[in-house]
Structure 1
Amino acid sequence: MIKKVLSAVLAGAALLTPTAHAASPAHHQAPGWQRVGHDITSGISGIAVDATRRDGTAELLAVRDNKKPGENRLVALSYRPGAEPRQRAVEWSGEPAVDLEAIDGVPGRPHEYVALASGGTAYRIHWEGDTARVVAAFPVPGVSPDDNYEGFALTAARNGTLIAVWADRGQDERPATLSAARWNPDGNAFGTPTSVAFRVPYPAHDVRHISDVKVSATGRITVSSASDPGDDGPYDSALFDAGRVTASPGGDDRVRLAVHRSPHRLATFPGHKIEALACLPHSREGVVATDDENEGGYVAASEFCRP
C-alpha cells in the first residue's frame, strides 16, 4: 500500500493555522514530491487510478490542460512513493480536446474514463496500451460561457445508480458551483442536476474554490482548492471535506447534494497548485498531483481519502 510520506502536508489540529507560501523553488524538492514534468505543458490537471499492484505501485491515467495541436493530453503514470514515477505519453484518438481539467474512471467498466474540459465538454474514452479512443463527447448540464470547470467525479450509489459530480472552480469573491446528477453510461445521459454554491476559507488570495473533486463509494466529497496568482506562482493549496452526495430514494430523478457551510480542512500543500486527486480503492491512501505551470508537475502520496 502507498504510505503517507509527504512532509509538506499538515493534518488534524495543526491545520487550524494557515501555512505560509514557500519562499523559494527549493521547497519543490521536499521529501515526498516526485517530479513528472519540467515546463508549462507538463503539469497534471486531473488523475484517476486504473489499477494497484501488490508492491504498492499505483497505475494512473492523467490529463494535461494543453490547448495547442501536438501537445500531450494524456499521460500514463506508474507511481510508488520513494521511487521516480515511470510515465509514458498516451495518444488521444478521436474528437480533439482542448484544456482537459479532470478525469475519473467509469465504475464497473475497466479502462473506461470520462475526462472534462474547462468549457464543459465531457469525453468518454477507452484506454488500451498507448492509445485512448474517444467513444463519445457530450456537455455536462447547464453549461454557461462564464463557467470554468476543473473537477469531475463518478461514483456508484448503493442501489447501483451512477452519480456524476462536477464543479466550476469559482474565483475569489465568486464561489465555485458544485453540481451533481444521475448519469447513465449506456447513453451518456444525465438526470436532473442539483447545484450549490461552495466557498473555501483557505487559501485567501487568488483563490480557485475548487480545483478538483473526488467522491468516495459512500458519497463523501473531497475537493482541492488552490491559490493561482499566475504562471510563476507562488502557489498554495488545501484539501477539504466538502459534504456528501446520495441518490434520492424511490423514483426521484434528482440526487441529494449536501455541502458544509464551514468545510473541514484535511490537508495543506504550500508551494504547489493541486489540480488533481485520486483515491486508492477501499483505502484512506491517495495521490495528489500538481500543475505548477512554469515549474511543471509533481505527484505525492497523502492519506486524505475517506472510503
Structure 2
Amino acid sequence: MQRTAWLVAATALLATPGTAPAVATATHGTAPAAGAWQKVGSDARSGVSGIAFEGRTAHGAGVRALIVHDNKKTGQRRLSRIIDKGGSADVSPVTWDGPEPMDLEAVEAVPGKPSEYLALAGRGIIHHLRVTGSTAKVLDYAPLPAIGQGDNFESLALVARHGHLAALWADRGAGHRPATLYTAPLTFDEYGQPQFGGVTHRTYRAAYPAGDAVRHVSDISVTDSGRILVSSASDDGPFDSAVSDAGRVTVSAAGRVRVTLAASPDVLARFPQYKIEGVECLPGSSDALLGTDDENLGGYVRTAPLCGS
C-alpha cells in the first residue's frame, strides 16, 4: 500500500472550551516534532492494536506503556513496552508466558492491582496478566459474557469508583452495522479469573469517519471525570480516524454501573491517514496516548489533549 506524501495541519474539533486544539500531523516518514506521530513499528506484525498506561519514567517526563499486537501465529510477538519521551519513542519486547492468544486487540491496567492487566482477543477471550520486568505471565483467562453473534472486539476500558470495578468493551461494528457497547461490574476470583456481573449493552455509531469500511469503535478510554472517549477508524486504506466524546459512565456506591451515550457523539479530533486502534487517557493529565495499526506501514504513537474535564 502506497501513501501519498503530504503535510496536514487541520485543526481538530474540540468539545471542551479553552482546550488547546488537537492537530492531525505530518505524513509517515517525516521527522516527529513534539506531540507528533512517532514510529514504533515497521510492518503489519508490529502495529499498535491496544495500549495501556504502565507508569511515568524516573523524572516524570516520559510515559511507559504496554502495547498489544494482533498477531495470530505461534511465536509472533503479542506484547511490547514503549517509552514515549515526547520527541521519541523506544520499543522493547515483552515475553508472553502462558497460552498464546490469537489476535489481541486491547489491553488495560487493572485499577488497584499494580502490574496487573487485562488483554482482550478479538473473539472475546480475556487474559489476566501480571507483568514483571520484560515478562507477562498469564494468571488466568476466560470468555467475555454475553458475546453476540458475529461480535468482533477491539476495545476495553476499566473504571474504578467507590471501591468497585466496572468494565466497558465493544463489538467494533462495521459500516451500516453499529457497534455494540457492553458494560458490567467486574471482580476476580481467588485464581485471578475475571468475574462479570450483569451485562447491559447499547448500540453506537461513529459520527466520523463514515462509509462501509468504518469500524465504529476501535478502542475506548474513560477520563477521570467519567467521560467515555471512543476511537473510530476506517479499515481499508487510505486510513482515517477520529476520537469522539461518546457519553458518560458512572459507578454508584453500591457498585451499579450506568452508561449514558450521546445522541450525537462529539468529534474531538480527526486523524487523516492513520488507523487509530489504541486510546489511553493518561492519569492526572488531559492528554491521551494514541496508537495506530497501519497494517504494512507499521504503528505510530502520539499524545493529544483529549481527556480534559
Same fold, judged at TM 0.5 (above): yes
Partner residue in 2 for 1:228: 235
SS in 1 for 2:296: helix
Partner residue in 2 for 1:178: 181
Partner residue in 1 for 2:18: none
- Contact 1:207–1:226 (CA under 8 A) maintained in structure 2: yes
Q: What 5-or-longer segments of structure 2 have no aligned partner?
A: 1-7, 16-23
SS in 2 for 1:40: coil
Q: Distance in 1 between matches of 2:265 and 2:68?
A: 27
SS in 1 for 2:52: strand
Measured at CA, do residues 9 and 132 of structure 1 come closer, stay the same or move farther in structure 2, by a change above 3 Å?
Answer: farther
Shift of 1:131: 0.7
Equivalent AA in structure 2 for residue 65 of structure 1? D
Q: Distance in 2 between matches of 1:12 and 1:164?
A: 26
Aligned pairs (5 A) from 1:90-169: 90-157=94-161, 159-169=162-172
Equivalent AA in structure 2 for residue 283 of structure 1? S
Shift of 1:248: 4.5
Q: Distance in 1 between matches of 2:10 and 2:40?
A: 18
SS in 2 for 1:28: coil
- Contact 1:155–1:217 (CA under 8 A) maintained in structure 2: no
2:54 is the alignment partner of 1:50:
yes
Partner residue in 2 for 1:18: none
Partner residue in 1 for 2:201: 195
Partner residue in 1 for 2:3: none
Shift of 1:9: 6.2
Measured at CA, do residues 180 and 306 of structure 1 come closer, stay the same or move farther in structure 2, by a change above 3 Å?
Answer: farther
Equivalent AA in structure 1 for residue 138 of structure 2? V
The C-alpha deviation readout for 1:163-183, integer Å capped at 9, x for no partner, is 100010000000000011100
Partner residue in 1 for 2:263: 261
Tell me the number of residue pairs that the alignment of Structure 1 and Structure 2 aligns. 285
Measured at CA, do residues 249 and 261 of structure 1 come closer, stay the same or move farther in structure 2, by a change above 3 Å?
Answer: same
Measured at CA, do residues 78 and 222 of structure 1 come closer, stay the same or move farther in structure 2, by a change above 3 Å?
Answer: same
Partner residue in 2 for 1:279: 281
Partner residue in 2 for 1:296: 298
After TM superposition, the score normalised by the length of structure 2 is 0.87
Equivalent AA in structure 1 for residue 184 of structure 2? A
Cα RMSD after superposing both structures:
2.0
Identify the range of structure 1 (65-74 vs 183-192) with the bigger mean alpha-carbon deviation. Answer: 183-192
Question: Which residue of 75, 83, 91 corresponds with 2:80?
Answer: 75
Q: What 5-or-longer segments of structure 1 have no aligned partner?
A: 1-5, 14-20
After TM superposition, the score normalised by the length of structure 1 is 0.88
Shift of 1:296: 0.5
Identical pairs, percent? 46
Partner residue in 1 for 2:19: none
Equivalent AA in structure 2 for residue 108 of structure 1? G
Partner residue in 1 for 2:29: 29
The C-alpha deviation readout for 1:243-288, integer Å capped at 9, x for no partner, is 11112464xx752111011000111100000000112112101210
Shift of 1:294: 0.6
Q: Distance in 2 between matches of 1:88 and 1:9?
A: 33
Shift of 1:12: 2.7
